[in-house]
Amino acid sequence: MARIAVIGSGAVGGYYGGRLALAGHDVRFLVRSELDAWRARGLRVFSVAGDFCLDPVQCFARPEEIGEVDWVVCALKATAIGEARELIAPCVGPGTRILALMNGLGNEPLLAEWFGGERVFGGMAFVCINRGEPGVIHHLAYGRVSIGHFQDDARQTAELAGLLGSGGIEVVVAPNLLYARWEKLCWNIPFNGLSVAAGGVGTRSILDDPELRATAERAMREVVAAGNADLAAHGNEARLDEDDVVARMFAQTDVMGDYRTSMVIDYVLGRPLEVEAILGNPVRRARELGVSTPTMATLYALVRQADLVRRGVRQSLTAEDVAAPQSVV
């Protein structure tokens, strides 16, 4: 059995780490804001795949308390990537490998720079999951993880697939890591982006409104174009099939109900949004490659501004502002 550190024990880290612990692995969770609740009541998961509870659960306030492990599952928000190095480092020994179970583009290169590319993997979770009260996770649908190795080492990727599979987790081995990242962005960019840009809505509002649905499709097709250009630029032969991606992503989203994306939850609660990892980095990469992505770029501009206003970094107009007389020059 493997020793596993989960760095970032939110909905994603808690769920997948919990599955691995349930399978008998030695899983140690880094828990900060909800530590007292985890210690008092354990980790409770209400899941379409079967409810479970880990009580007691191995949870720690500091990574130094976790110590060296075989695997680190980094499930931090992309907004916390700046903290990842100091949180992961105390858990890394000579043979430790690191799985970035995170959203967006650009996480694995940073981890490779800090810890060496040979030990870095990426995982893209396609899952409907939300946190409830402290120490509670609600798994609503799906759950597969698409994985790849930073250096596309097939043998190491197979080892990771075996680890995740031992926890009953559905695993897809992607043609390569870059392919997997862009494939996940095909969903994240249109649905996370529009859920905020449309004023704070769930997926049903996007799907049921003809204009929003059409905008989501345009964005998705742009993501495919940018992703395929990036794959070509890296010398990878794999390509995303545009029509297949659009049909598959919409079919899967149609049965989710009115799902609240991770970005809209953060937006409503006033937390920083993963806007750069999910929107900004892909838009910048498309520009570097000369790929036109007007819908993606518009979503990025709108969501970035909404994030700054929601967190009070920039000011929005108030009723008093509108009522006050203004001069025209």
Catalytic residues: 184
- Cα-Cα-Cα-Cα dihedral sign, residues 312, 316, 321, 327: positive
Q: What is the distance between the alpha carbons of residues 279 and 285, in angstroms, rounded to a whole number?
A: 10
Q: How far apart are CA 192 and CA 214, in angstroms?
A: 15
Cα–Cα distance for residue pair 158/135, rounded to 1 Å? 32
Helices 210-233 and 294-310 cross at an angle (nearest 10°) of 110
**Cα Rg of the chain, angstroms:** 20
Q: What is the rounded CA–CA span in Å between residue 53 and residue 289? A: 47
Among residues 30, 26, 113, which one has the least CA distance to residue 70?
Answer: 26
> What residues contact residue 120 under an 8 Å CB cut-off, 6+ apart?
97, 98, 100, 108, 111, 112, 149, 150
Q: Give SS3 for 275.
A: helix
From CA 62, how far away is CA 37, in angstroms rounded?
A: 16
DSSP labels, 70-124: SEEEE---GGGHHHHHHHHGGG--TT-EEEE---SSSHHHHHHHHH-GGGEEEEE
CA distance 174 to 149: 9
